[in-house]
Amino acid sequence: MLACIEVERLVETAGACDEGPVPVAVGWSDYERILSRIQAPVFPERDYRITEFGARPGGDASEAIRDAIERCHADGGGRVVVPAGEFHTGPIHLRGGVNLHLEKGAVLHFSTDPQDYLPVVVTRWEGVECMNYSPLIYAYEQDDIAITGAGTLDGGANWGNWWSWNDKSSERPTLQTPARQRLIEMGEAGVPVEERVFGEGSFLRPNFIQFYRCRNVLIEGVKIRRSPMWEIHPVLCRNVTIRGVDIVSHGPNNDGCDPEASTDVLIEDCVFDTGDDCIAIKSGRNNDGRRVGVPSANIIVRNCVMKDGHGGVVIGSEISGGCRNVFVENCTMSSPNLDRALRFKSNARRGGVVEGVFMRNVKIGHVTEAVLTIDFLYEEGPDGDHPPTVRRVHIDNVESDGSPRVMWIAGFPEATIDDIRFRNCIFRGVSLPERIEHAGRVVLDGVQVVPAGKRRSAHSITPADE
Contacts with 178 (C-beta within 8 Å, 6 or more apart), sequence order: none
Which stretches within 191-242 are classed as H helix? none
Q: How far apart, in whole angstroms, are the C-alpha atoms of residue 252 and residue 175?
A: 13
Provide long-range contacts, Cβ within 8 A and 24+ apart, for 245-249.
Answer: 245/219, 245/220, 245/221, 245/270, 245/271, 246/222, 246/270, 246/271, 247/223, 247/271, 247/272, 247/273, 247/274, 248/223, 248/224, 248/273, 248/274, 249/155, 249/157, 249/224, 249/225, 249/273, 249/274, 249/275
Q: How far apart, in whole angstroms, are the C-alpha atoms of residue 389 and residue 366?
A: 28
Of the candidates 154, 276, 277, 288, the residue annotated as catalytic is 276
Contacts with 379 (C-beta within 8 Å, 6 or more apart), sequence order: 317, 347, 349
The Cβ of residue 45 has, within 10 Å, a number of other Cβ atoms equal to 7
Of the candidates 93, 233, 310, 438, the residue annotated as catalytic is 310
**How far apart, in Å, are the Cα atoms of 12 and each of 60, 152, 179, 193, 309?**
39, 38, 25, 11, 37
Active site residue 310: yes
Rounded to a whole number of angstroms, the CA Rg of the chain reads 22
Decide: 404 and 369 in contact? Cβ < 8 Å.
Answer: yes
Q: What are residue 447's DSSP bridge partners?
A: 458
Active site residue 366: no
So which residues are the catalytic ones? 276, 310
